Amino acid sequence: MTRNLRSRIFDHWPAMFAQAKIMDSHAGFSGAIVERIEVGGQHFALRGWPKESLPAARLLGLHQFQRFLFERGFTQVSVPVPTIDGRSLVQHEKRFWQMEPWMPGKADFLKHPSDEKLKAVMHLLARLHIASTQFVASQESALWFSVSPSAPSPALVERIQILERWSGTNPETLHRSIQQKLIPEKIKDRLCEILSLYLSHAEKVHSELREMADHQFSLQPCLRDLWSEHVLWTANQVTGLIDFGACRIENPMIDLSRLLGSYFIDDSESYQKAIGWYDEIRSVSTSERKLFSVLDRSQRLLAGMTWIDRLVLTAHPLNDWSAVENRLDEILPRLRVM
């Protein structure tokens, strides 16, 4: 980001931000921009949403939900800093921008795992999910953040649709497309293995999803992209839950399946231990336990196909192939043990 552009963006916030020092900058796979800035000894995150971003009504509803959680004691959740005129979101050069406190801690569970940490995050999630059922969305954001006592899981419906779209693609043609792409050979090798494993398991997972698709579950705002990199730790305490961009209505099992799937390759004992700790605070029904399993397996199956779509079919621009390789190396071990 140019200094001039940054200065014009900072103009929307109180004058102290004009003195901001840029500590580091990160561009995500989605096209989002996050800059860590220091102002008067405090650290903030300037977030630029992707240019083809979520609707403003959804982002503003998300900010309302974050504020709701923070006011109920969930200090692990950041709340956007108001602009000079009291807004939480501004638009500049085809992007929405927001400013929020930089959350403390490191995403180090995989480096330093422990039962104490696992129990802490499960108890926190359970309390957060209970609190979320009391959130009352505005009329403009109710589509994404309402609460329903009984409805089908949106994730199941969406994943069925994704599988059915992939079923219309010729595997041999897709394999040739991977080989013909101007991408590193080691990336091609991983994508070809992902495709092969996907074809081996797609029919069974599709059947599992369809079997559950009409079941009724309690729905509420959930984070939906809660994985290892989005939970920050200070010692054995969660001090940050970050990147709420995927947040919207779903059953809480979406958060458990996403997080535990990022912590463990195939460890049913750890899964059951974690769900047991969650159940100490928020009861998990038999149907939710089955939903957890179906969400976990379908997430394993489709995670790699997202990268085939991104790198091969839509040619998403990327410049950090080592980061892509690392992400694929996180996906493949879970696929291999399905």
- In tens, the pLDDT along 40-92 reads 899 999 999 998 889 999 999 999 999 999 999 999 999 999 999 999 999 98
Same structural domain, 233 and 292: yes
Please write the tens of the pLDDT for every residue from 149-161.
999 999 999 999 9
Radius of gyration of the chain (CA): 21
Band of residue 126 on the pLDDT scale cut at 50, 70, 90: very high
What distance in Å separates the CA atoms of residue 119 and residue 128, rounded to the nearest whole number?
14
What distance in Å separates the CA atoms of residue 81 and residue 44, rounded to the nearest whole number?
9
66 in any annotated domain: no
249 in any annotated domain: yes
- Mean pLDDT over residues 149-175, rounded? 96
Cβ proximity of 184 and 237 under 8 Å: no
Same structural domain, 250 and 179: yes
| The pLDDT value given to residue 93 | 82
Same structural domain, 97 and 147: no
| The pLDDT value given to residue 30 | 78
Q: Distances from the Cα of 82 to the Cαs of 13, 141, 323, in angstroms? A: 7, 19, 33
What distance in Å separates the CA atoms of residue 159 and residue 212, rounded to the nearest whole number?
12
- Is pLDDT of 239 > 80? yes
What single-letter DSSP state applies at residue 216? -
Structural domain range at position 36: 3-53+80-101
- Mean pLDDT over residues 209-217, rounded? 97
Same structural domain, 143 and 23: no
Global pTM reads 0.95
Same structural domain, 167 and 281: yes
Same structural domain, 130 and 84: no
Rounded percentage of the chain residues whose pLDDT exceeds 90: 87
How do beta strands 148-151 and 42-48 pair?
A: unpaired
- Mean pLDDT over residues 138-146, rounded? 97
Cβ atoms < 10 Å from Cβ of 260: 24
Q: Distances from the Cα of 260 to the Cαs of 228, 254, 306, in angstroms? A: 8, 10, 19
Same structural domain, 95 and 162: no
Cβ proximity of 331 and 193 under 8 Å: no
Same structural domain, 150 and 86: no
Sign of the alpha-carbon torsion through 78, 84, 89, 91: negative
251 in any annotated domain: yes
Nearest 5°: phi and psi at 200? -70, -25
| The pLDDT value given to residue 26 | 85
CA dihedral 92, 94, 99, 100 (to 10 degrees): 170
Please write the tens of the pLDDT for every residue from 98-125.
999 999 999 999 999 999 999 999 999 9
Nearest 5°: phi and psi at 97? -130, 145
Nearest 5°: phi and psi at 53? -105, -175
CB-neighbour burial class of residue 149 (10 A; exposed 0-12, middle 13-18, buried 19+): exposed
Cβ proximity of 11 and 20 under 8 Å: no
Cβ proximity of 12 and 46 under 8 Å: no
Residue ending a domain, among 41, 72, 101, is: 101
12 in any annotated domain: yes
302 in any annotated domain: yes
Sign of the alpha-carbon torsion through 243, 246, 249, 250: negative
- Is pLDDT of 235 > 80? yes
270 in any annotated domain: yes
Cβ proximity of 44 and 101 under 8 Å: yes
| The pLDDT value given to residue 227 | 97
Same structural domain, 152 and 88: no
Minimum mean pLDDT among 2-11, 203-212, 247-256, 281-290: which range?
Answer: 2-11
- Is pLDDT of 5 > 80? no
Domain count across the chain: 2
> What's the mean per-residue pLDDT of the chain?
95
Please write the tens of the pLDDT for every residue from 291-329.
999 999 999 999 999 999 999 998 776 768 999 999 999
- Is pLDDT of 206 > 90? yes
Cβ proximity of 132 and 148 under 8 Å: no
Band of residue 188 on the pLDDT scale cut at 50, 70, 90: very high
Residue ending a domain, among 43, 71, 101, is: 101
Q: What's 318's domain CATH number?
A: 3.90.1200.10
- Is pLDDT of 178 > 90? yes
Residue matched to tokens 């190396």:
329
Cβ proximity of 261 and 300 under 8 Å: yes
107 in any annotated domain: no
75 in any annotated domain: no
Band of residue 267 on the pLDDT scale cut at 50, 70, 90: confident
- Is pLDDT of 182 > 80? yes
What distance in Å separates the CA atoms of residue 221 and residue 66, rounded to the nearest whole number?
11
Same structural domain, 129 and 207: yes
Nearest 5°: phi and psi at 25? -140, 145
What distance in Å separates the CA atoms of residue 172 and residue 129, rounded to the nearest whole number?
44
Same structural domain, 84 and 155: no
- Is pLDDT of 4 > 80? no
Please write the tens of the pLDDT for every residue from 8-33.
899 999 999 988 998 998 887 778 89
| The pLDDT value given to residue 284 | 98
Same structural domain, 124 and 19: no
Band of residue 7 on the pLDDT scale cut at 50, 70, 90: confident
Residue ending a domain, among 101, 133, 157, is: 101
